[in-house]
């Protein structure tokens, strides 16, 4: 059974410094990763004697005050921001997850989603482990704690990796050692950075930049990185090897910051290239090209550049202004409130729209609510035509790997073809980007990407879903072979 609890779409960080408290650098790094999760924020540190933690619901800026940061002793630690999942605001799933056990303490931050968490939880439950949440992170923490009882850290992580199946980028603090692990398919991102006085592991390189550090490289799929507790270096262990990766393309399209480098690609450049490809595949001549702020901006830049190079007489203009203070906490219990939210969030600039034909560019359509309302908004502001261009293929299937997308019923492209969607959102024309354009822009073969949400074929073995490769889940009941 696929784990039905909250999907962990999150940001993780881990730091080891020479002779300085890790709490503030962790706090700044979490700020840089805030876009990856706004529901809760937490830090766990270790000072060589004991573990300290502070985990709160809410944004990073609200979750910690000076006293909280001062109380987080030690020059090593990890942090986490958690994404809000529809309908569940549950502090039991806030992270990092901490456990104390016979041979020490453990803090764990997880980004991703296991597809066999329920099986592992049941097996651990049968051995006497009691769980306080329905999240899969606690499952990993308990399994790792169990393996640490009779093995060193590297061996324990290896054994846990043999047992869990799905996507995970983890940062872990075990006593005063910080490690990072990326799942064998490299589905979720994780990178290594060098700081003036230490090392950092983070979901995105933008967090390293914030600390005046330098990106060293991505953590390899299936690799464990162990930071030296004094911040002087790190060791790596290739614990699991697969012949294919399953990098999530949606990180590049929507989720990650444009100023981050993921798997050696600057996200902004990728989005610009995708915008150029969008023009090449489905360019339409209009007076103005306009992004949906902020998600469509890099795509619209590339699209406008390519169209101008092709000789189109088109203006790139901002026609929608965003109120940046409308956060995700805006309560939207009714359709009226949802529509009000779009009006509060985005307001057209009449003079760039009135009497003109418009190409409106966004990264993706999920439910279709945003596109529908923006097309209406632009028409009300006097646009003569509104053509919609989308920098991703139709999102037609759910994500089981950690991106909180929507259920199949809610996905407009799961149930309708492009013609129907064009009518539903009220656009004069609508075109999506092809899957091949995504693979080209990322310089990867389709086989090395996770394209589950657009193809309905997943790189993992998920009940009732098709898979695009030969996978079998590890059996959680089989005694583990000694290595």
Binding site, annotated residues: 248, 295, 362-363, 399, 450, 453
Annotated binding site for [4Fe-4S] cluster: 248, 399, 450, 453
Verify binding: residue 363, ligand AMP, rule CB under 6 A.
yes
Segment interacting with ligand AMP (CB under 6 A) among 175-183, 208-216, 397-405, 416-424:
397-405
Interaction mask 58-97, ligand AMP, x per CB under 6 A? ----------------------------------------
Structural tokens at position 71: 């109380």
79, 43 in Cβ contact below 8 A?
A: yes
Instruction: Kindly tell me which residue out of 53, 162, 362, 468 binds ligand AMP, with binding defined by CB under 6 A.
Output: 362
Instruction: Kindly tell me which residue out of 194, 367, 446, 469 binds ligand AMP, with binding defined by CB under 6 A.
Output: 367
Segment interacting with ligand AMP (CB under 6 A) among 225-233, 330-338, 362-370, 436-444:
362-370
Cα separation values, 161 from 29, 87, 147, 169, Å:
26, 31, 11, 12
- To ligand AMP, the closest distance from the beta carbon of 214 in angstroms equals 30
Count of residues that bind ligand AMP according to CB under 6 A = 16
Verify binding: residue 370, ligand AMP, rule CB under 6 A.
yes
Residues of span 244-283 touching ligand AMP by CB under 6 A = 254
Nearer to ligand AMP, 364 or 422 (CB): 364
Instruction: Kindly tell me which residue out of 51, 160, 167, 295 binds ligand AMP, with binding defined by CB under 6 A.
Output: 295
Instruction: Kindly tell me which residue out of 85, 133, 357, 369 binds ligand AMP, with binding defined by CB under 6 A.
Output: 369
Instruction: Kindly tell me which residue out of 147, 364, 397, 427 binds ligand AMP, with binding defined by CB under 6 A.
Output: 364
Active-site residue (options: 10, 144, 208, 277):
10
Nearer to ligand AMP, 32 or 421 (CB): 421
Segment interacting with ligand AMP (CB under 6 A) among 46-54, 91-99, 208-216, 398-406:
398-406
- Active site includes 10? yes
- To ligand AMP, the closest distance from the beta carbon of 260 in angstroms equals 16
Nearer to ligand AMP, 52 or 254 (CB): 254
Interface residues with ligand AMP (CB under 6 A) are: 254, 292, 295, 362-371, 403-405
Catalytic center residues: 10
């Amino acid at each position: 059974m696929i784990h039905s609890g909250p999907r962990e779409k999150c940001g993780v960080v881990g730091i080891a410094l020479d002779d300085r408290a890790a709490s503030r650098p962790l706090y700044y790094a979490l700020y840089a990763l805030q876009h990856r999760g706004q529901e809760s924020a937490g830090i766990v540190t270790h000072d060589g004697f004991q573990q300290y933690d502070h985990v709160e619901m809410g944004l990073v800026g609200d979750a910690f005050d000076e006293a909280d940061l001062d109380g987080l002793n030690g020059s090593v630690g990890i942090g986490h921001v958690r994404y809000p999942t529809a309908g569940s605001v549950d502090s039991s799933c806030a992270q990092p997850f901490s456990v104390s056990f016979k041979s020490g303490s453990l803090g764990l931050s997880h980004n991703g989603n296991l597809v066999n968490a329920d099986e592992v939880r049941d097996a651990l439950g049968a051995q006497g482990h009691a769980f306080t949440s329905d999240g899969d992170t606690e499952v990993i923490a308990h399994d790792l704690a169990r393996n640490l009882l009779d093995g060193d850290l590297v061996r324990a992580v290896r054994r846990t990796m043999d047992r869990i199946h799905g996507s995970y980028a983890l940062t872990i603090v075990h006593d005063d050692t910080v490690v990072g692990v990326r799942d064998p398919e490299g589905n979720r991102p994780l990178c290594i950075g060098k700081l003036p006085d230490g090392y950092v592991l983070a979901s995105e390189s933008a967090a390293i930049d914030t600390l005046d550090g330098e990106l060293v490289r991505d953590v390899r799929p299936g690799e464990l990185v162990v930071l030296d507790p004094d911040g002087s270096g790190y060791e790596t262990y290739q614990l699991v090897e697969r012949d294919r990766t399953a990098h999530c393309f949606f990180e590049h399209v929507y989720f990650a910051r444009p100023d981050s480098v993921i798997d050696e690609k600057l996200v902004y450049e990728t989005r610009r290239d995708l915008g150029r490809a969008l023009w090449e595949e489905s360019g339409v001549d209009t007076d103005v090209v306009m992004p949906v702020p902020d998600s469509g901006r890099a795509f619209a830049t590339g699209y406008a550049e390519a169209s101008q190079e092709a000789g189109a007489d088109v203006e790139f203009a901002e026609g929608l202004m965003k109120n940046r203070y409308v956060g995700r906490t805006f309560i939207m219990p009714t359709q009226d409130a949802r529509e009000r939210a779009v009006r509060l969030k985005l307001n057209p600039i009449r003079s760039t729209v009135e009497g003109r034909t418009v190409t409106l560019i966004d990264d993706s359509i999920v439910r279709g609510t945003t596109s529908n309302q923006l097309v209406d908004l632009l028409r009300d502001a006097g646009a003569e035509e509104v053509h919609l261009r989308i920098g991703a293929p139709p999102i037609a299937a759910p994500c089981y790997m950690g991106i909180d997308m929507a259920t199949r019923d809610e996905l407009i492209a799961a149930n309708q073809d492009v013609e129907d969607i064009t009518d539903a959102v009220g656009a004069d024309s609508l075109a999506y980007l092809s899957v091949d354009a995504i693979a080209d822009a990322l310089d990867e073969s389709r086989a090395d990407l996770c394209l589950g949400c657009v193809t309905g074929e997943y790189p993992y073995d998920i009940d009732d879903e098709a898979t695009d490769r030969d996978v079998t889940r590890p059996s959680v009941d089989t005694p583990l072979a000694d290595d």
